[in-house]
Amino acid sequence: MNASSSSIRLAAVGVVVALGVAACGGSDGDEETEATVTDTAAVTEAEESSRATDAPDTAPDTSAPPATESVETAPSTEAVTAESPSTSEATSDAVDVGRVVVLGEESVLADLLALDVPVVASSATVPDAGFQGIEDDTEGIEIFDYLNTSLEELATLQPDQVIVWQYIVDQVGREQLDGLGAEVLVIPDGTTSRERVELFGEHFGREAEAEGLIADLDAAYAVGSEQVPEDCAASVVAIYPGPSPAVFARPVWAVPLAVDTLGCELVPSGDEIETDGNGRAYLSLEQLEVIAGPELILLQNDTVTGDTEAVEEIEQNPIWGQLPAVASGDVTVIDRLGYPGLVGETRVVDELVAIFNG
């Protein structure tokens, strides 16, 4: 299709990876609203809110509310051997990548930057707030809102490479993306953070750097699992606007995944409660009592419209005040958009170790 003859808008679509409901900020990473067709095909992105956070690591789950944070499966906890390269020592024969444009938000962008892949433009979970949770320099990277960006507008970025999730390709159409005149690298739905880094490393000639990042993650888990108490347990919860509480009972998103990989218990577990593709179970206010972990980890982000108000509202519920962790004061808020990609997962391990030892 000729770029001048049609405008394809990227509309919010349900994503298994985000944090949900209109609560997430748009992804994830938030948005899980289904893609809608206006004058032509439509598509969306997004890992944990109303838009999508950590580009998703699994196919979109349109049955769940909007979201934004990445979905990943448990990484290997093997101890790092002496031969394992570190990110500081790793070197590769990097290829000339040209102008790279990302349709994957912070989860994908973070890993590309960690591999020293130059990016000229990327979608963001909450565009008005800028790129969140990325420690590498993002100055000069153009932010675009996939909800209001057409293929024609993407073409003005003159990309040489477009990095995009498979579910977005399915929505927009591969022939439409090929019309941008760039090489299109498709990330398979269900890809874990380490698999994604391996894919990028091979594609961009940065295999050694990719091995170093994965070694750093494995080392963080190996050390962290020795530092947490043997009986560590936590309830991981997000309070979306409504308020609409959701508990993460299976290790899919980065934080519950890290809790589980460290050897700690998720309360409740996925064997006790039915979950969606994000490992998440939505609760009525009468069901709050299942949030019975001795530690309560809240996944919130104040740039997401309605997030702060949702927490303030649920705190007025009498059942909330009776929860074990709330009664004991063992409640910690973690930025659900603050730890994107594999590098973010590596960083959040230290945060969790501190919580369980606090």
Q: What percent of the chain has pLDDT over 70?
A: 73
**pTM metric for this prediction:** 0.73
Specify the pLDDT at position 94.
56
pLDDT(66) > 50 = no
Specify the pLDDT at position 95.
64
Q: 167: helix, coil or strand?
A: helix
Asked whether the beta carbons of 118 and 100 are under 8 A apart, the reply is yes
Question: Cα dist. 147→34, 161, 227 in Å?
Answer: 12, 21, 43
Token representation of residue 151: 């293929």
Cis, peptide link before residue 127, omega less than 30° from 0: no
Mean residue pLDDT across the chain: 78
pLDDT(295) > 50 = yes
d(CA 339, CA 346): 8
d(CA 249, CA 69): 16
Enumerate the H helices of 115-192 as residue ranges.
151-155, 166-172, 174-178
Contacts of 287 (CB under 8 A, 6+ apart): none
Q: What percent of the chain has pLDDT over 90?
A: 64
How would you classify residue 137: left for phi > 0, otherwise alpha for psi between -120 and 50, otherwise beta?
beta
Over residues 23-32, mean pLDDT: 33
Specify the pLDDT at position 277.
82
pLDDT(82) > 90 = no
Specify the pLDDT at position 292.
97
Specify the pLDDT at position 53.
35
Taking the alpha carbons at both ends of the chain, their separation in whole angstroms is 58
The tens digit of pLDDT for each residue in 119-150 reads 999 999 999 999 999 999 999 999 998 778 88
Specify the pLDDT at position 278.
83
Question: Cα dist. 17→46, 144, 229, 312 in Å?
Answer: 7, 20, 29, 25
d(CA 122, CA 138): 10
Q: Please tell me the total number of residues recorded for the chain in this structure.
A: 358
pLDDT-derived band at 93, boundaries 50, 70, 90: low
pLDDT(153) > 50 = yes
Specify the pLDDT at position 99.
96
pLDDT(207) > 80 = yes
Specify the pLDDT at position 191.
78
Specify the pLDDT at position 269.
95
Specify the pLDDT at position 4.
34
The tens digit of pLDDT for each residue in 258-285 reads 999 999 999 999 999 999 988 999 999 9
